[in-house]
C-alpha cells in the first residue's frame, strides 16, 4: 500500500492506495500516528483508492480515531471506495467516523 | 457520505431484493472460526459480484465454528445469502461439498474466507471458462502470479508436493491448493458427488478426479496475499497431505470413485429448515 501524507496548518491529509490489511498496519501506524497532534488534531484519510480493508486495518483506524478524539479531534474518512464503504457499513464501523464526499459526484 | 455509485446501488439491490431469476454464479465460502475476517470478505465480494450485473448468490458454508461466525453472518440478513450451519467441524472439504450441493448457479466459485485472492481476480478467471474449461483454478505457481507473504518453508514444501502430485498422480497442475477455484456447475456437482475427503486435501482429490474423468482444467495466475495470523503447521499439513495422497490412490484402486457418495451422507440442506447441518436462508 502506498501512503502519501500532506501537512496543512490545522489538519493532515493521508492518501492511501492499494490494499489496507494487517501487513500494512505497522507502516500505517508509524507514518500516520505521529501526524495527530494537539495543534493538528483532525486527520483526513482518503480511501478512494483502497480496494479492501481487513479487520486489522479497521481496528487500526478505530485506534487512530480514539487517539484523535483524545486530543479533541477526529479522523475523517474521505471518498471511500465502494467495497470499503460496504465493509464499513456491515461491520457497523461507519457510524464511528465522519465520512465525506469530496468529489462532488452526482 | 457520497452519493451512491452504480456499484453501490447494485449491492444494495442484491442485499434487499431476492433474485427474480436463477443465479448465474454461486460463490461459496467455507468458514471455520472466521469471526475476525468474514465480514470484510463478504463486503468485498458482495460489492464486486453485484457490480457485475448478473444474478448471483452467496453461500457461507460454516464448518462447525465455535466463535461468532454464524451469528455475524446470520445477522446480515442479506436476501441472497445462504448460511449453511454444521454442528461439527468436519473439515474444509466437507464445508465446500455442502456448499456445492446447495449451489444453484451455472458457475461455482469457491473462495477462501480471508480474501487472500482478491475477488477482482474472478473476472479474469471466469473469462477462461468461456474457452471450454470445466475448471479454472487460481494459481500461485503459474507464470505471472503475484504472491506476497508466503514463507520460504511453504514455498519449498509446495514445490516438493507439486512434483509428487505431477509425477505420481498425473495431475499437471502447479498449485492444487490455492483456495480460489471456478467450476462449471455440472462438473462441480459431479466431482463433489464423487469426492470423499473432508479435509483440506479435497482440492487435490477434486483435481485428481477431474483428470480421471477428462475435464479440462485451466490454471490461471492470480494475485495472492498471505493472510496474517495463519496458524498452518507446514510440517503437519504436509504429512497429512501425503497421507491423503495415499488415500486417494487407495480409494481409486478400490473403486470408490466409480460411484457417488452414499445417500446416508448429509444431503443438500433445505433452506426452509432452520437446523444444524441444514441451510438457513437469512
Residue, of B249 and B100, whose pLDDT is higher: B100
- Of A66, A13, A71, A15, the C-alpha closest to A41 is A71
User: What pLDDT score does B172 carry?
Assistant: 78
CATH of the domain at A90: 3.30.750.24
Q: Where are the alpha helices (DSSP H) in chain B?
A: 6-16, 38-51, 69-76, 92-102, 122-129, 152-169, 185-194, 202-213, 234-253
Range among A90-94, B202-206, B236-240 with highest mean pLDDT value: A90-94
Range B148-163 average pLDDT: 71
Q: Establish, for the pair of chains A and B, how many residue pairs have beta carbons separated by less than 8 Å.
A: 74
- Contact between B51 and B10 under an 8 Å Cβ cutoff? The reply is yes
pLDDT of residue B137 exceeding 70:
yes
Q: Which of B2, B36, B120 sits opposite A105 (nearest CB)?
A: B2
User: What pLDDT score does A33 carry?
Assistant: 95
Q: Which of B8, B39, B228 sits opposite A85 (nearest CB)?
A: B8
Question: Containing H/E element for B68?
Answer: none
Domain range for A29 is: 2-100
Q: Do B47 and A101 touch (CB under 8 A)?
A: no
Q: Which of A47-56, B38-47, B111-120, B229-238 has the least mean pLDDT?
A: B229-238
Residue, of A46 and B129, whose pLDDT is higher: A46
Q: Do A83 and B47 touch (CB under 8 A)?
A: yes
Burial class of residue B40 in the structure, from the number of CB atoms within 10 Å of its CB (0-12 exposed, 13-18 middle, 19+ buried): buried
User: What pLDDT score does B229 carry?
Assistant: 63
Q: Given pLDDT bands bounded at 50, 70 and 90, which one contains residue B232?
A: low
Residue, of B116 and B153, whose pLDDT is higher: B116
Tell me the pairing of strands B146-148 and B223-225.
parallel
User: What pLDDT score does B83 carry?
Assistant: 98
User: What pLDDT score does B231 carry?
Assistant: 58
The Cα of A14 is separated from the nearest Cα of chain B by a number of Å equal to 18
Residue, of B264 and B43, whose pLDDT is higher: B43
User: What pLDDT score does A105 carry?
Assistant: 59
Q: Given pLDDT bands bounded at 50, 70 and 90, which one contains residue B269?
A: very low
pLDDT of residue B123 exceeding 60:
yes
Domain boundaries, chain B: 6-281
Residues of A in contact with B1 (CB under 8 A): 85, 94, 99-101
Global ipTM: 0.94
Number of domains in chain A: 1
Q: Do A101 and B3 touch (CB under 8 A)?
A: yes
Q: In this predicted model, what pLDDT tens digit does every residue of B74-92 receive, in sequence order?
A: 999 999 999 999 999 999 9
User: What pLDDT score does A49 carry?
Assistant: 97
Residues belonging to chain B with any Cβ–Cβ distance to chain A shorter than 8 Å: 1-3, 5, 7-8, 11, 36-37, 39-40, 42-44, 46-48, 51, 76, 115, 118, 120, 148-149, 225, 227-229
User: What pLDDT score does B261 carry?
Assistant: 64
Q: Do A83 and B48 touch (CB under 8 A)?
A: yes
User: What pLDDT score does B282 carry?
Assistant: 41
pLDDT of residue B179 exceeding 60:
yes
Mean pLDDT across chain B = 86
User: What pLDDT score does B255 carry?
Assistant: 92
pLDDT of residue A99 exceeding 90:
yes
Residue, of A13 and B150, whose pLDDT is higher: A13
Question: Would you tell me which CATH number, out of the four given (3.90.550.10, 3.40.50.880, 3.20.20.70, 3.40.50.1970), belongs to the domain B6-281?
Answer: 3.90.550.10
Amino acid at each position: 500500500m502506498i501512503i502519501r501524507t500532506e501537512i496543512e496548518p490545522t489538519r493532515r491529509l493521508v492518501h492511501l492506495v492499494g490494499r489496507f490489511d494487517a501487513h500494512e498496519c505497522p507502516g500505517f501506524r508509524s507514518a500516520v500516528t505521529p501526524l495527530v497532534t494537539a495543534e493538528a488534531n483532525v486527520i483526513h484519510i482518503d480511501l478512494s483508492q483502497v480496494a479492501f480493508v481487513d479487520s486489522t486495518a479497521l481496528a487500526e483506524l478505530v485506534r487512530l480515531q480514539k487517539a484523535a478524539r483524545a486530543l479533541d479531534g477526529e479522523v475523517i474518512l474521505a471518498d471511500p471506495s465502494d467495497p470499503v464503504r460496504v465493509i464499513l457499513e456491515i461491520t457497523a464501523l461507519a457510524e464511528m467516523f465522519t465520512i465525506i464526499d469530496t468529489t462532488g459526484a452526482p | 457520505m457520497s452519493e451512491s455509485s452504480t456499484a453501490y446501488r447494485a449491492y444494495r439491490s442484491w442485499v434487499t431484493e431476492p433474485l427474480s431469476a436463477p443465479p448465474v454464479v454461486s460463490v461459496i465460502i467455507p468458514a471455520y472460526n472466521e469471526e475476525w475476517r468474514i465480514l470484510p470478505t463478504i463486503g468485498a465480494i458482495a460489492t464486486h459480484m453485484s457490480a457485475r450485473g448478473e444474478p448471483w448468490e452467496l453461500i457461507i458454508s460454516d464448518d462447525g465454528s465455535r466463535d461468532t461466525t454464524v451469528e455475524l453472518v446470520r445477522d446480515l440478513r442479506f436476501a441472497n445469502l445462504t448460511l449453511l450451519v454444521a454442528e461439527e467441524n468436519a473439515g474444509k472439504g466437507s464445508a465446500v461439498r455442502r456448499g456445492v450441493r446447495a449451489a444453484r448457479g451455472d458457475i461455482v466459485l469457491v473462495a477462501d474466507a480471508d480474501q487472500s485472492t482478491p475477488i477482482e481476480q474472478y473476472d479474469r478467471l471466469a473469462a477462461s471458462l468461456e474457452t471450454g474449461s470445466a475448471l479454472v483454478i487460481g494459481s500461485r505457481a503459474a507464470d505471472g502470479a503475484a504472491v506476497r507473504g508466503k514463507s520460504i518453508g511453504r514455498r519449498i514444501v509446495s514445490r516438493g508436493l507439486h512434483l509428487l502430485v505431477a509425477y505420481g498422480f498425473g495431475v499437471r497442475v502447479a498449485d492444487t491448493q490455492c483456495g480460489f477455484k471456478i467450476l462449471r456447475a455440472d462438473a462441480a456437482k459431479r466431482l463433489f458427488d464423487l469426492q470423499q475427503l473432508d479435509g483440506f486435501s479435497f482440492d487435490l482429490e477434486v483435481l485428481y478426479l477431474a483428470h480421471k474423468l477428462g475435464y479440462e482444467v485451466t490454471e490461471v495466475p492470480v494475485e495472492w496475499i498471505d493472510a496474517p495470523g495463519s496458524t498452518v503447521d507446514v510440517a503437519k499439513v504436509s504429512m497429512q497431505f501425503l497421507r491423503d495422497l495415499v488415500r486417494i490412490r487407495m480409494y481409486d484402486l478400490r473403486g470408490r470413485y466409480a460411484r457417488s457418495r452414499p445417500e446416508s451422507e448429509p444431503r443438500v440442506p433445505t433452506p426452509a429448515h432452520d437446523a444444524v447441518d441444514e441451510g438457513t436462508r437469512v
